[in-house]
């Protein structure tokens, strides 16, 4: 009987260790996804600014050409 209790305790300890490892792995992966999302957000912000700048420049050039043609 004592052997079975010891064996169950050993299995419980092993399972708790594996659960902790899985929690740590999940936490690490979530952190990696957060970093990637932040990077993508920054890239989107930069791209949006570039597009807005390009549109403003194109509108400015179009206005200049229209005034020049008058």
Predicted local distance difference test score (pLDDT) of residue 49: 97
- Which two three-digit tokens encode residue 33? 């996804």
pTM for the complete prediction?
0.64
Predicted local distance difference test score (pLDDT) of residue 32: 98
| pLDDT averaged over 10-residue windows placed end to end, the chain, 70 residues | 89 96 98 98 97 97 94
3-state secondary structure of 61: helix
């Amino acid at each position: 009987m004592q052997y079975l209790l010891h064996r169950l305790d050993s299995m419980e300890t092993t399972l708790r260790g594996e659960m902790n490892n899985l929690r740590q792995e999940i936490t690490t992966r979530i952190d990696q996804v957060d970093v990637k999302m932040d990077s993508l957000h920054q890239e989107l912000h930069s791209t949006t600014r570039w597009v807005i700048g390009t549109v403003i420049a194109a509108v400015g050039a179009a206005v200049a050409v229209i005034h020049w043609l008058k």
